[in-house]
Every structure is written in structure tokens, then in C-alpha cells.
Chain A
Amino acid sequence: MSLEQAFRISSILWAGVSFVALALGTGLPAWLVFFTTVALLVSFARAVGAMAGWFSVPQVVRSAVTWNVLVLAAFFGFVVESLTSGELLYAGLRFLMVLMIMKLFRLRDRGDYLHLHAITVVMMLAAALRADLWYVPLFIAYLALGVWTLFLHGMTRQRGNQPFTTFATTPRQQTTCPSGFEHGEEKVAACFFQMASGLALAVLCLTVLLFYALPRLETRSYHNDDGAVIRTAGFSDSVNLGALGPIKLDPRIVMRVELPDRAIPERKGLYLRGMTFDHYDGRSWVNRLGRRWPIRQTTQGIFALQGQEGGEQMAPELLSRQRILLEPLDTPVLFGAPFMEAVSGKLPAVQVDGGGSFYLPVPVANPLEYTAVSRPTTVLPADLHPSSFPSQYPEEFLRYFTQVPPTSDRIAALARTVAQHARTPYEQAMAVQDYLARHYRYSLALPVSDHTNPLEEFLFKRKTGYCEHYATAMAIMMRTLGVPSRLVTGFLATEWNEYGNYYVVRQQDAHAWVEIYLPHSGWIVMDPTPAGDENVASADGLWLAWTRLIDHLQLRWNRVVVQYSAADQLAIVQGVQTGGAAIGHKVRESFQILLETITGLMEKSVSLLVTATLGQAVATGFTVLVLLGLLRSMWLFRKRSQGKPLGMKEENERAGGPVTQLYEQMLSYLSAQGLQKPTPLGPLQFVNIVRHQWAEVSSMVEAITTLYCKERFGKVPLTLEEYDLARQRLGELRNRTRFASKSDLQRGIGAGNGI
């Protein structure tokens, strides 16, 4: 394989890797993915030489004007799209892809490849905005290919700057030449790839090092802002019966829950409490206690409920901790095992409502990690004793949590029948729970109901439903029996990832259950829903193990890379500090100062930008940049078509370098003294004239003229000393001209013909 061919192939592969990363990371439209793939494959085939002579591109398509028009059209498409849709980033990405497709069909000379490389780099950068686990292998491939390409670029350039032969001719040349006699073309040896790959490895190590060492800012403005927020149901102020149904078919991961204190899963699964609902109007549940109030943060950064902090000291072994990585949701609820008492983490503020649910002020668009501390309740022995029933409920509890919808006589009758043998509220609850679990069928496949009372429909007609129906039924039945109860929505985590020892909670794990209030124990969790087929994903197998392993890696990725923050960095720095205290201290100090400065600056600039509408500013800047680039390339094209060497400035043809300007200045000084240089006279002749007419300054004029000739006509780059010399001489000349009276000059007429 010749160097040039290797360069071509490597360039296209490089672009391909970038494209795959981009396509995986962002929602590119299917047609664009298709066309780009085709373009990449075709140009790869051409680079390999597999398609030699398949077709020849007509001259019209090859002409630069056509391409410029196409690029302009694509650009205007981009402008229109970004203005109409407002999604600047996506419009820009699409424009970039279109540019790449065009470039791929027009890879002729080195410049085209450089453009392709630039697009490749930008694509990879854009893909990094959605960096996920798949980014790692792609990034390694990108690095390796990038190093190869740059190597090959340098090597092919060293071999001489001759223009690339077109694709059509190269393979033919190679087939006519017996192998080994390819016009002295250098070949790519295996050791080249070894060396380049070694270098790529070194770059990768350096990148990793930099990633963990560079100071970072707590801004994640780009992460997952494309509406990838998971929609949930049941976490607003009201929940319609049947709302959880469609959600329960969605396997997307909502959160991952680690239990730092225990390494084995709970037998029944882990309840993750979301919101509570206390008022049922016959069709939907409403949270009347939804008014939230903020919790103050303790000095350790923990948000804890007031009552639990100072009062009774809890036995630590009774508490359970969960470390939760929450994916972006459309709800501000902070989930946790019942019953949450404190949360900690990188949280701006935390609120709590009357039902004991924790909230963030607003839903966040980024993955959020926090630790929840909760105290599971158990049924105290006092509540198992019949004597305590039923007088000891507080008044307000009865008012709030025994409310029933008006048409619930049948339900009340059913409840009484079911619980007729029960002596305590707890026994009643167990009886109802058993009854529901035993006599009703769990199914998600429910037809749409227009029944005015979906609960009665469930209990008496269909006898089929899912968690919401069960929970609603139980809550209402308990209420008719006079036991305070409420509906709770949340997730029931059952999927245990044995590789990382954590629960994987998916959208389909959304659940609703019941909490009943016992006079002594307080709220306890009851779940009438039988373990349905859908809930137990028992399809154990290789595939499941594999997905769990991948998910585990994904979590690690999130932990170690995505969530890696300045705080972690500081922790590392502090770890280092134990080794060398003084150095560590200094590093941390300067680090913090730097961080503070940068964050301050960032805040300032962000607030400035926000007031001036960030999108508009970015759009304007980007548009101007692209326009400038287009103008520049058109200008370059024009110059190239005129056959002038690139990069040579037009002004050079008249004015040379700095000394030429000094020379012109000198001429103006002399002409001010009446010693004008006739334009048809050569510079040396003029020196002779000066020598005859004003001998005093002839040495300066001669020195400047010599340097001027050297620079202007010899195109010899002058040294700094020479330039300084010329300036010095010019200064002397100026002094002379200043003090010279005009009579000093023996002015001669016809200087032009005088020699």
C-alpha cells in the first residue's frame, strides 16, 4: 500500500469513526445517516481502489462552482432550519454532515483532505457532548486513526508537494506496475502502524491524565438537554387511575440504587417512595398535603427533617442508606426507601411536603446523585393487640386519611365482609391485602375504561387490574373500615445487578402501593399487588447477564467520568496531600482560587449572555463565522483559478518588506529636499546621482538602497540587524535633511539622463 493510499484510507476511516460517534450520540435524521454512510462507503471503496473505473464524474459535477453553490444552498438550509426550529446545535450538526458528504465526493487534493479532517475533529467534539460508554472505544479508535492520518499526512507532504493524483488514475498505475516497482513510491510498513499506535496509546494516556488533572467547572449545560428527560406518570399533584399503565411497559432505566450498608438485595425488592396521595374523588387521587416547605441544610451538607435531628437519637443500625443515581426525570421528586429522613448530595435545595416526600425545587436535566437516609418502620407489638383499636387515631389523621368518595357503599360492604374476622387495624389490612392479592388478576393489558367509577369496575366487574387498581382498592377499603390510609407512587426495585451490587430501576418498575397508619407504629407499607408476570423479570440467561454487565460498566462510567467533578478532584488532591503536605496545600489553595475566579467569571458571563438571549448570540456568532469561512474559501478559489500560488499576498508584488517601506520613506525625505528620483531610474543609478549631488548623505542612501535591493529584488529575508541598520541610517538621513538648508544641494536638472 502506498503512502498516499494509506493516507486516503486512514482519513476516510477517521471520518467514519467520528461519524459513528456522532450518530450514536445525537439524534441524526435517518436519511442523513443513510447518505453519510453511503458516501463514506463509496469513498472508502474508491480509496481502496475497488471501484476504479466504475464511473467517471462528469465535468459539471466536478467544477468548483457547482460545489460552492451546493455549499451555499446547504448553508441557507441550515440558517432557515436553525431559525425555524430554534435547535441551533442540531441544525449545525446536520449542516456539518452535509458538508462532509460533499467533501467526500470531492476529495481531490491535500486541501480537501484537510477540510475533511477539520470536519472530523468538529464531529468528534460534537459527539463528546453526549459522551456515553460507547464513546470510549470510539475515542480510542479516533485517536489511533488520527495519529496515523497525521503521520501519513506529514510523510506524504515531505515526499514533495505534488498534487494528488486522482482516484481514477492511481489504481491503474498500480496495476500496470509490477509489485515492488511503484515508481519508487514508498510503502507503508507494519512497523509504521506499530509506532503510530504506540504514539496513539501515549496520547490516550495523556488524555486520561489531562481529563483527571485539568480543573473543571460545575457546568453541565450541554448534557442531555435535547429532551431526553424521561417522562413519568404519577408524580404530579394528581394521578388518574390507569395513568401508570403505559409507563409500565417502558424498559428505560430511571435510576440505580446502591445500598452502601449491605451487599445483597432485599428479598421482596426495594420500595422507592415517590409521592403520596390522600384524597380520592372516585376517579383520581389528589395530594392535598402537597404544599412544600424547604429543609435547612446542616453544616455537613445534609438535608434532614427537623424533628429527627435533635430529638430521639436513632439507633444507626435501624437506618438504611441508599446511594441513588437518578436519570433526568420530569419530576422533582427525590426517591428513597420508606421513610426518608435525610438526603445529601450535590443538591441546591430540598423541600418536603406533608406526605413526607422529598423534592428538588425544579426537575433537573442532568443525572443526579444523592444519598438518602431512611428509617424502615416495623409493626410494633402494641398494634397487634386488639385492645388498642380503634380509638387512638388523631383527629386530623381521620379527617385527611379516611376520606372516601361518595359512591362507595358497595366497597364498604365488601371491605366489611373481607375484614369481618379481623380485630385490629393491622389484621384488617392484612385481610384486605390477602383478599385482593388472591382474588384479582394482575394484568397490564386493560382496555380503555369509560366507567364512571373505575374502582368499582375493578372490584366487581373486571376483577383485573394493576398496581394502581389494587392500591386504590385497598386504600379505599381500609378507609371505609376507618383505618387511615393513603396511596403512594414510586418504584419497586427488583432487578439486582450482581456485578455492581446495585438495583437497576426501570420505568416499568413504576409502582403504586398503600400506606396505612397504625396508632403506635405510624405509617407502614402495605402492597396488595400480587407479583405479576411482568414484575418478575426472571428470564435469567446469558443475555441478561451481559446487559447487567454493560449497565454496570455504564454506571462506573457515570461515576468515574461523567460525574467526575471538581469535588472529586479536590478529594484526590487531598489524598495526595497526605503524601506531601506542603505541596498539597499549595495546590489546593491555588486550585480553589482558580476555581473561584473561573466560576465567578463564568457566572458573570453567563448572566450577561442570558440577558442577551444566549441562542441569538451563538447563532449570530456562528453565522458570521461560517460566512467568513465561505468568503475566504471563495477568495482562495478565485486566486487558485487565476493560477497564482496560494498564500502569496497580492500586495507583495508592489511593496516588499519593511525595508522597502523605509526606502520609500527615504525617497520622500530626499524629494522634500528637491532630490527626486525619476521613476525610470534604477536604484543604483539614483545612488550615483545622490553621490554627485549631495555627497553627505550618499553613504546612508547607499546603505538603505543596498538593503532595499536585497529585500525587494533579491527576495532575501533580511536579518533584524540589517533592518535596524536601515532604520538607523534613515534616522541619520532625516536628521541631515532637517538641518540641511536647500542651498547645500547643488541641484541638477535632468537627473534621469545624467548618467
Chain B
Amino acid sequence: MNSTEAIRSIQDNIARVIKGKPHAIELTIVCLLARGHLLLEDVPGVGKTTLAHSLARSLDCSFKRIQFTSDLLPSDIVGVSIFNRQKQTFEFVRGPIFANIVLADEINRTTPKTQSSLLEAMSEAQISVENQTYSLGQPFMVIATQNPAEYHGTFPLPESQLDRFLMRLRIGYPAPEEEKKILARTPSLHPAEELQPVVTAQEVLALQSRADHVFMDESLTDYILSIVQATRHTELLSLGVSPRGGLALSRAAKALALVRGRTYCLPDDVRELAPIVLSHRVMVARPQGFVLQNFEHAERIIQDIVDSVPVPV
């Protein structure tokens, strides 16, 4: 199975569950291939969890779901050491983070302490517990969801945490026809449960390494840099994109090129991904001085910047 077919089969598989959202599915796969983590942000009920679940089911990988609540503790995520009576020793019991695909549902509902326990896992694909370091399985991808509409009892994600998500994605409401199809479906089983894996973990790793080797022309690197520079110099943003943001954009563009069946990146890839990859990494400047996570606003600013930077010819 070559890479295009593999990617196509994952897309088709997920599309059987998530109706009318090919773009969201494509970007989810891009995120996977770019070894990134995905932050799904939308109102409840548009299929965030289903999307994550379908992706996990489509890959022959382990999948764990963690429901983040305000009383969730770090040990609930990474695992805990338990005293074994027979052996008279402490044994580490691995938490749900030891899975290939981890769904962190409603991540902003838990305390910053617990949220931070994800940091090491997301950036280094390893966790440290009681002076012991455990490396996580590969591929490893965290799909987090959060609800922007509801602010009561939430803890906004810190910038450091946000920066570790490759892209922030909104799913949006489906088109009426698609919604009709959803309604017509027999609700006997969770739709994602019907899916069969189409790609093995090994194949996912191979795809990821292929995405690394997608060719990016030097002029496109310069193009990414000029977008990043523009975010740092605009008046509208109080915090521009970090170097990690530029790197993320480059990686995502390569993965998107691969998903679209190309061996090289185009300016279109960068343009398309810039708002999705960059908007959660910037802080919008407010005259009043109070800062609120307003991703829609940031997205618009990034889009304006992208529309003002000339693409290389």
C-alpha cells in the first residue's frame, strides 16, 4: 500500500462516521503525520470526540480516553506506584497516557497542575514519575477537546501548553444534508465502534517519516519565516509566533503536501495551514490590557497577515 492509498483509506474510513467534514478529517491526518497533537475546539455535539475516536479506531493502535474533570490528578493520567504485597515492592501501574492515541476530553476542565502533567508527554513523548522516565509508545498523539462557549469552572490552557498543540481545529456545524444523514442513522451503536483498523502502527510511523522527507523549497522556508516575522511585528498581537510555531507550520505543510499526494510543498499549503497552526500560539493585544483566549479573533489576524505576505514566485 503506498502512502497516498494509505492516507486515502484512513480518510474514507473516518468519513464513514464523520459526515460532511472532509477538511477536518484531512487536517486531523495531517496532524498525525506531522507527529503533532490536535486541539479540537468547538461547541459540544459537533463530533469532536467522535472524530478522535474514529481516528484511533482506523489505526491499529491503542486508544485511551481521559475525561478531564476538576478533580483529576496527574497520577490519574500518567499512572501511579502501588505497593505489591507479594513482592514487597512498589510497582508502577501505567496510566492512560500509555496509549498511541490519547483523547483528553474537555481538557480545560481540569486544574493547571493536571494539565501540566501532559507537557512532557506531549513534547518529549516520555513521562517522568518518581525519578523514573518511561518512554511512550510510537506513534503518540494527544487529541484534546475543549468547549469555547462555556467558561464556568474552566481553567484556560496556559500558553506553554497551547504551544505544544500542532494545530487548533474547529469542526463546525455540518451542512443540512449531511446533518440529515446523521439523523437518519440507526443509533444502535456508537458509530465509531463499527470501524475496523485500516492502517497499522508501523505504517503510520512510515508515513510520518515520509512526511519528514517531503521537499520544501528554500523560498517556502523564507515565506514561512516572513509570516512568522509579520506576527511578531504587527500591532494587533502582543505575542508573536515562537520559533516552535514556525517549525510546526513547516512540518504541517509537509504533511499536508503528503496527504494531497505531492512530494513537495506549495505556498498554498502554508497559506492554508497558517491560521490553524499559528492562531493559538499568539496573544491578541487588547487596549484594556486584559487578555482573553479569543481564537477566532487571532485567526482573523493571522489570515490578514497571510493575505498580506507575498508568496514566492
Contacts and interface: CB of A to CB of B under 8 A. Distances in A.
Interface string B105-124: 00000000000000000000
Contacts of B307: 678, 680, 752-753
A714 B309 contact: no
A647 to B, nearest CB: 15
At the interface, is chain A mostly helix, strand, loop or mixed? helix
A447 to B, nearest CB: 88
Given A653-B219, A713-B220, A680 B264 contact: no
A199 interface: no
A683 B269 CA distance: 10
A716 interface: yes
A229 to B, nearest CB: 65
B138 to A, nearest CB: 29
Nearest to B269: A682
Interface in B171-186: none
Interface in A634-693: 653-654, 660, 663-664, 678-685
Given A680-B308, A682-B271, A653 B266 contact: no
A664 B266 contact: no
B308 A714 contact: no
Contacts of B309: 680
A689 B194 CA distance: 40
Interface string B194-230: 0000000000000000000001011110000000000
Contacts of B215: 713-715
Contact of A714 (B219, B262, B306, B313): B262
Given A680-B308, A680-B310, A680-B311, A653 B218 contact: yes
Interface in B273-313: 306-311, 313
Contacts of A715: 215, 217, 264
B75 interface: no
Contact of A680 (B220, B265, B306): B306
Contact of B268 (A653, A682, A712): A682
A709 interface: yes
A710 B272 CA distance: 19
B62 interface: no
A685 B307 CA distance: 12
Interface string B1-40: 0000000000000000000000000000000000000000
Contact of A684 (B218, B268, B313): B268
Contacts of B220: 713
B54 to A, nearest CB: 28
Given A712-B217, A715-B217, A685 B268 contact: yes
B306 to A, nearest CB: 7
Contacts of A716: 263-264
A681 B268 CA distance: 8
A710 B267 CA distance: 12
A196 B313 CA distance: 51
Given A713-B217, A752-B307, A682 B313 contact: no
A709 B266 contact: yes
Nearest to B308: A680
Contacts of A663: 313
A712 to B, nearest CB: 7
Interface residues on A, range: 20 to 34
Nearest to B310: A679
Interface string A600-628: 00000000000000000000000000000
Given A653-B219, A682-B271, A685-B271, A713 B266 contact: yes
Contacts of A660: 313
A660 B220 CA distance: 16
Contacts of B219: 653, 713
Interface in B73-90: none
Nearest to A752: B307
Contacts of B313: 654, 660, 663-664, 679, 712
Contact of B266 (A678, A683, A753): A683
- Which of A653, A709, A714 has the largest number of chain B CB atoms within 10 A? A714
Nearest to B303: A753
A682 B311 contact: yes
B308 A684 contact: no
Contacts of B262: 714
A64 to B, nearest CB: 26
Nearest to B220: A713
Contacts of B306: 680
Contacts of B263: 714, 716
Interface in A49-100: none
A683 B264 contact: no
Interface string A682-722: 11110000000000000000000000011011111000000
A418 B103 CA distance: 140
- Which of A682, A684, A709 has the largest number of chain B CB atoms within 10 A? A682
Nearest to A710: B264
A709 B266 CA distance: 7
Nearest to A684: B268
A710 B306 CA distance: 23
A351 B95 CA distance: 117
B18 to A, nearest CB: 23
B268 A683 contact: yes
Nearest to B306: A680
- Which of A681, A685, A713, A752 has the largest number of chain B CB atoms within 10 A? A713
A18 B279 CA distance: 69
A714 B264 contact: yes
Interface in A501-522: none
A35 B292 CA distance: 78
B313 to A, nearest CB: 7
- Which of B215, B263, B270, B307 has the largest number of chain A CB atoms within 10 A? B307
Interface in B246-275: 262-272
Contacts of A714: 215, 217, 262-264
Given A682-B271, A685-B271, A713 B310 contact: no
Q: Ordered nearest first, which 3 A-B pairs have the shortest CB separation? A: A682-B268, A714-B264, A679-B310
27 contacts: A653-B219, A660-B313, A664-B313, A678-B307, A679-B311, A679-B313, A680-B271, A680-B306, A680-B308, A680-B309, A682-B266, A682-B269, A682-B272, A682-B311, A683-B268, A684-B268, A685-B268, A685-B271, A709-B264, A709-B266, A713-B217, A713-B219, A714-B262, A714-B263, A715-B217, A716-B263, A752-B307
Given A679-B311, A680-B271, A682-B268, 8 more contacts: A680-B311, A682-B267, A682-B272, A682-B311, A685-B271, A710-B264, A713-B265, A715-B217
Interface of A: 653-654, 660, 663-664, 678-685, 709-710, 712-716, 752-753
